[in-house]
C-alpha cells in the first residue's frame, strides 16, 4: 500500500517503521509544519491515510481526507463526542473511515473479556468495581479513550451501574474511573471487582507502541478501496 501519515509523533514514527518493514510505502507525511497541504492530497497518490494527531485536529483531518476521496484510519482519541457528526459527514460524502480508541489486537480481545466479566458479575452482590488507567505524561485526554470504552462496556453490561465518573463518587451506582499520568508509560488498564472476601482483577499492559502500529496498518489494508465506516470489531470479526 501507499500510505499517507497524518501526524508524525511517536505513533507516526512507529507506524512508518513498521509499515516500511512490511513492504508498504510511506508516500507522504503531514505534520504541524505542513498540515495545510493535506487538502491538496490526491487519491492517485495514496491508498489510505493514517491519522494520529490530537483531539482538536483529528475531526478536521478526517473531513479533509473524506473530501479528497481518501480512506482514512483514525487513531486519535478524545474527539468521539463529535462522532455522530463525523459519521454523518462520511456517509453523506460516501467516504471511508476506520476509527478506534485502541488498535492493539490484545486490547480488543480484552474489551470482549471485560463485557463478559461485567455480565457475570451482575448476579454477584457485594462487589464494587473500579477502573484504573495509566499513560505517559504527554497524553492530553483524561481518561483515555480506551478507559472510556471499558467504562461504557461495564455500565452497559451490568445493571448495578448507571454511569461512570472520573475519580471518586459517593453514589454506589456510579462506576469510578481513575486516570494517572506517569513518566513514559505506554498504556496500562485495570478493572477491579472487590468485595470483603476477595478481589477479581483483569488488566492489559502495552509494552510498547508496536501493537498499535500493527493494528493500524491492518486496518488500513482492510479499508483500502472501500467506502463506509468501520471499527476493530469488523477487522477482527468479533
93 in active site: no
Q: Catalytic residue among 24, 63, 80, 139, which?
A: 139
135, 160, 210, 226: the catalytic one is 135
What DSSP letter does each residue of the chain carry, written as one string?
-EEEEE--SHHHHHHHHHHHHTT-EEEEEE-TTTGGGGGG--TTT-SEEEE---TTTHHHHHHHHHHHT--EEE---S-GGGHHHHHHHHHHTT-EEEE-S---HHHHHHHHHHHHHHHHGGG-TT-EEEEEEEE-TT--SSS-HHHHHHHHHHHHT-TT-SEEEES--S-TTEEEEEEEE-TT---EEEEEEE-SS-EEEEEEE--SSHHHHHHHHHHHHHHTT--EEE-HHHHHT-
Query: Are the C-beta atoms of 191 and 203 separated by less than 8 Å?
Result: yes
Q: Please, what is the end-to-end C-alpha distance for the chain in angstroms?
A: 25
> 226 an active-site residue?
no
Active site residues: 135, 139
Amino acid at each position: 500500500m501507499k500510505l499517507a501519515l497524518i501526524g508524525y509523533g511517536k505513533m507516526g514514527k512507529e507506524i512508518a517503521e513498521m509499515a516500511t518493514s512490511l513492504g508498504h510505502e510511506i508516500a507522504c507525511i503531514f505534520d504541524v509544519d505542513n498540515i495545510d497541504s493535506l487538502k491538496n492530497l490526491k487519491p492517485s497518490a495514496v491508498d489510505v491515510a493514517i491519522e494520529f494527531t490530537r483531539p482538536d485536529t483529528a475531526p478536521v483531518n478526517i473531513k479533509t481526507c473524506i473530501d479528497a476521496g481518501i480512506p482514512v484510519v483514525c487513531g486519535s482519541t478524545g474527539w468521539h463526542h463529535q462522532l455522530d457528526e463525523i459519521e454523518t459527514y462520511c456517509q453523506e460524502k460516501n467516504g471511508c473511515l476506520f476509527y478506534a480508541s485502541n488498535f492493539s489486537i490484545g486490547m480488543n480481545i480484552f474489551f470482549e473479556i471485560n463485557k463478559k466479566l461485567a455480565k457475570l458479575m451482575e448476579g454477584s452482590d457485594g462487589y464494587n468495581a473500579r477502573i484504573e488507567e495509566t499513560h505517559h505524561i504527554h497524553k492530553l485526554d483524561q481518561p483515555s479513550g480506551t478507559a472510556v470504552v471499558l467504562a461504557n462496556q461495564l455500565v452497559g453490561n451490568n445493571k448495578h451501574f448507571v454511569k461512570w465518573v472520573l475519580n471518586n463518587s459517593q453514589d454506589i451506582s456510579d462506576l469510578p474511573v481513575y486516570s494517572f499520568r506517569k513518566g513514559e508509560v505506554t498504556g496500562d488498564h485495570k478493572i477491579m471487582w472487590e468485595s470483603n472476601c476477595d478481589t477479581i482483577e483483569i488488566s492489559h499492559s502495552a509494552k510498547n507502541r508496536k501493537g498499535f502500529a500493527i493494528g493500524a496498518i491492518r486496518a488500513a489494508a482492510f479499508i483500502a478501496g472501500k467506502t463506509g465506516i468501520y471499527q476493530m470489531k469488523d477487522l477482527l470479526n468479533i
